[in-house]
Amino acid sequence: MWDAMGRRAAATRELMASWSRVHSAAVNWAERLHARIVRCRRCPRLVQWREAVARQKKREFCDWDYWGRPVPSFGDPEARLLVIGLAPAAHGANRTGRMFTGDASGRWLYRALHRAGFASQPTSERRDDGLRLLDCYITAAIHCAPPGNKPLPHEIARCNDFLREELARLKSVRVVIALGRIAFETYCKTRGIAPLPAFAHNRVYNYSPWLIGSYHPSRQNTNTGKLTEPMFDAVFARARELLDTQ
């Protein structure tokens, strides 16, 4: 009996050690990639814009030391849910340095993630606010704030190396939520999905991993009622259902 217990304990230790090796390998690639993203200066127009915004600031954030650099992805590199946004907002993530943190879109996103059990808290105001993503990883079509929230096609193409690498490395992803048409099409092109499927809100596309299209929670969509909170919650509830069927 003691032999059997000893074997079970050894097997458990080996399992934990192997999980820990896999986990730390995942964290390592993500940290290395994020460090490369933060140093990137490949798009002259965006470098100029993100730094100018960080110098000039908005009056309500005049006491902030703006991030003013590319914003790295955020979350668990072993997550099963991947969320793809468009780009950092000039006075949101370009100020705080964390994806969707400190702006109106982020307030919608983190509330929805929290309600569906993918975030430890419903608010996201600054990098050190204690928020953790649970089984979720957030990236974007581009990592620098673009003027007017409109990246140019060649800037999306340039930043695509980072997304391509992430998609190759995020081995546990089972469901992808693309926020807005640009994120949706960028994801499909990066995956080599052709012809491009028609974008629709809360439609599940039967790929591996599953893809769900969602309207972006931009002010333009939320203020006009094109996107309501129940509509947005339904997307994350759908993702949860798909993951629960695994």
Which spans of this chain sit near ligand SF4 (rule: CB under 6 A)?
37, 40-43, 46-47, 70, 142-144, 155, 158-159
Give the nearer residue to ligand SF4 in terms of CB position, either 82 or 87.
Answer: 87
Give the nearer residue to ligand SF4 in terms of CB position, either 49 or 118.
Answer: 49
Strands 175-179 and 210-214: parallel
> Smallest gap, in angstroms, from Cβ of residue 63 to ligand SF4?
26
Distances (CA, A) of 23 to 118, 121, 171, 186: 19, 23, 12, 28
Give the nearer residue to ligand SF4 in terms of CB position, either 78 or 185.
Answer: 185
Closest CA to 22 of 80, 82, 78: 78
Give the nearer residue to ligand SF4 in terms of CB position, either 7 or 42.
Answer: 42
> Smallest gap, in angstroms, from Cβ of residue 47 to ligand SF4?
6
* Element holding 138 (H helix, E strand): strand 136-140
> Smallest gap, in angstroms, from Cβ of residue 151 to ligand SF4?
7
Q: How far apart are CA 23 and CA 18, in angstroms?
A: 9
> Smallest gap, in angstroms, from Cβ of residue 38 to ligand SF4?
8
From first CA to last CA, the distance across the chain in angstroms is 36
Strands 81-85 and 175-179: parallel
